[in-house]
Amino acid sequence: MCGIVGYTGKRQVLDILIEGLEKLEYRGYDSAGIAIHNGDLKIFKSQGNIENLKRQLPAEFHGTSGIAHTRWATHGEPNVINAHPHASYSGNLVMVHNGIIENSEELKEMLAREGYTFVSQTDTEVLLNLIDFEYIKAGKDILKAIIKAQEVTRGSYAIVLLDRERPGELILCRHGSPLVLGVDDSGYYTASDIYAISQYAKRFIFPENGDIIFVNGSGIREVYTETGEKKKLEEKKYTVDDRSAGKNGYEHYMQKEIFEQPSIAASLLKEGLVIESSRYSSGEIDNILRDITGVTILGCGTSWHSGLVGRYLLERLARLSANTEYASEFRYRDPVMPAGNLVISISQSGETADTLAANTLARSSGAITLSILNVRNSTLERETDMQVYLNAGAEIGVASTKAYTAQLIRLAQLAEKIAFIRGEVVNSSGLNGDLMRIDKAMSGILKNAGYLRDLADKYSNSNNFLFLGRGLNYPSALEGALKLKEISYIHAEGYPGAEMKHGPIALIDHDFPTMAIATDRENLTKMISNIKEIQARKGRVIAIIQKGEESVKSIVDDYFEIPNVPDLIAPIVTALPLQLFSYYISLNRGCNVDQPRNLAKSVTVE
Please give the biggest Cα pair distance in the chain: 81
Q: Which of 45, 108, 402, 601 is catalytic?
A: 601
Q: Which of 2, 256, 483, 485 is catalytic?
A: 2
Indicate if 2 belongs to the active site: yes
- Among residues 327, 364, 333, the alpha carbon closest in space to that of 346 is found at 327
Pick one of 3.40.50.10490, 3.40.50.300, 1.10.3720.10, 3.10.20.600 as the CATH number of 243-436.
3.40.50.10490
Contact between residue 252 and residue 594 where contact means Cβ atoms under 8 Å apart = yes
List, for the chain, all residue ranges whose pLDDT scores fall below the cut of 50. Answer: 243
First-to-final CA distance of the chain: 11
What is the predicted pLDDT for the residue at 149? 96
User: Where do the structural domains in the chain lie, given as residue ranges?
Assistant: 2-237, 243-436, 446-606
Indicate if 300 belongs to the active site: no
Beta bridge partners of 3: 70
What is the predicted pLDDT for the residue at 602? 65
Q: Give the separation between CA 593 and CA 286, rounded to whole angstroms.
A: 42
Whole-number Cα distances in Å, 487 to 116, 250, 392, 399, 495: 42, 17, 21, 7, 19
Contact between residue 443 and residue 264 where contact means Cβ atoms under 8 Å apart = no
493-502 burial, b if ≥16 CB within 10 A, otherwise e? bbbbbeebee
Amino acid symbol at 79: N
Contact between residue 215 and residue 209 where contact means Cβ atoms under 8 Å apart = no
Residue 227, class by beta-carbon neighbours within 10 Å (0-12 exposed, 13-18 middle, 19+ buried)?
exposed
446-606 CATH fold: Rossmann fold (3.40.50)
pLDDT tens readout for residues 30-78:
889 999 998 889 999 999 888 998 898 887 778 999 999 998 777 677 7
pLDDT tens readout for residues 281-334:
999 999 999 999 999 999 999 999 999 999 999 999 999 999 999 999 998 888
Amino acid symbol at 273: L
CB neighbours of 18 closer than 8 A, spacing ≥ 6? 34, 50, 53, 54, 68
- Among residues 496, 502, 506, the alpha carbon closest in space to that of 527 is found at 496
pLDDT tens readout for residues 119-167:
999 999 999 999 999 999 999 999 999 999 999 999 989 999 999 999 9
Please count the other Cβ atoms lying within 10 Å of the Cβ belonging to residue 410: 23
| CATH superfamily assigned to domain 2-237 | Aminohydrolase, N-terminal nucleophile (Ntn) domain (3.60.20.10)
Q: Give the separation between CA 31 and CA 113, rounded to whole angstroms.
A: 31
Contact between residue 517 and residue 480 where contact means Cβ atoms under 8 Å apart = yes
What is the predicted pLDDT for the residue at 1? 57
Same fold, 2-237 and 446-606: no
Task: Please provide the size of the chain in residues.
Answer: 606
CA 410 to chain CA centroid, Å, is 17
